[in-house]
Amino acid sequence: MNLTTAPPQIWSDSLLVGHAGIDNEHTLLAEMIARMQRATEDGMVVALDELLAHTSSHFSAENALMLTSGFPPRDCHIKEHDAVLSTMTGVRKRLNAGEFVVARRLADALAEWFPAHVQHLDSALSHWLCKLQFDAKPMVLRMSRKPAAALAHFNL
């Protein structure tokens, strides 16, 4: 990877799932993944350790939400969380052995994996939680590239 070129932005409002707590966590996770993508060899250990700690905490909280709410596809979702954490932990060990390139590949793989995970699995969880609490679907307001066009139908 050319370190003079910034990686593409991971987070956008297209990843909002309509659950404030989950959305806030996802914003932080996306920032940490991007930080890891930009990390130098000297900064990679810190970047991965921070991401691993935050991801572990976030997945644990999400897993608890799924279990306590009886989210039907929780087993599949939890298994994916476990697989990601296992991979991250394995890469952390390899980074201790000086395998910087493996950590760089992990950062890029996480950046590719994250949006699909959010849009499919976490979005379904948000819908489930909203349905249980409010008997409704979550409402997500997204910014438009052309704000005036987005508001045109309101006859303002």
Q: What is the secondary structure of 68-87 as a DSSP string?
A: HHT-TTHHHHHHHHHHHHHH
In degrees to the nearest 10, what's the CA dihedral of 59, 33, 49, 16? -30
- Residues of the chain under the 70 pLDDT cut: 1-6, 144-156
What pLDDT is attached to residue 152?
Answer: 47
| 3-class DSSP state of 98 | coil
- 90-95: which pairs have CB atoms within 8 A and are 24 or more residues apart? 91/48, 92/48, 92/49, 92/52, 95/44, 95/45, 95/48
What pLDDT is attached to residue 7?
Answer: 72
**Rg from Cα positions in the chain:** 18
What pLDDT is attached to residue 153?
Answer: 47
Reported as a single tens digit per residue, the pLDDT across 54-99 is 999 999 999 999 999 999 999 999 999 999 999 999 999 999 999 9
What pLDDT is attached to residue 144?
Answer: 56
What pLDDT is attached to residue 8?
Answer: 78
In whole numbers, what is the pLDDT of the chain averaged over residues?
A: 90
Give the distance from CA 47 to its chain's centroid: 15
Q: Scanning the structure block, which residue is given the tokens 């297209």? A: 14
What pLDDT is attached to residue 65?
Answer: 96
Estimate the crossing angle of helix 41-69 against helix 100-117, to 10 degrees: 30
What pLDDT is attached to residue 5?
Answer: 61
Estimate the crossing angle of helix 74-96 against helix 41-69, to 10 degrees: 160
Do the beta carbons of residue 105 and residue 1 sit within 8 Å? no
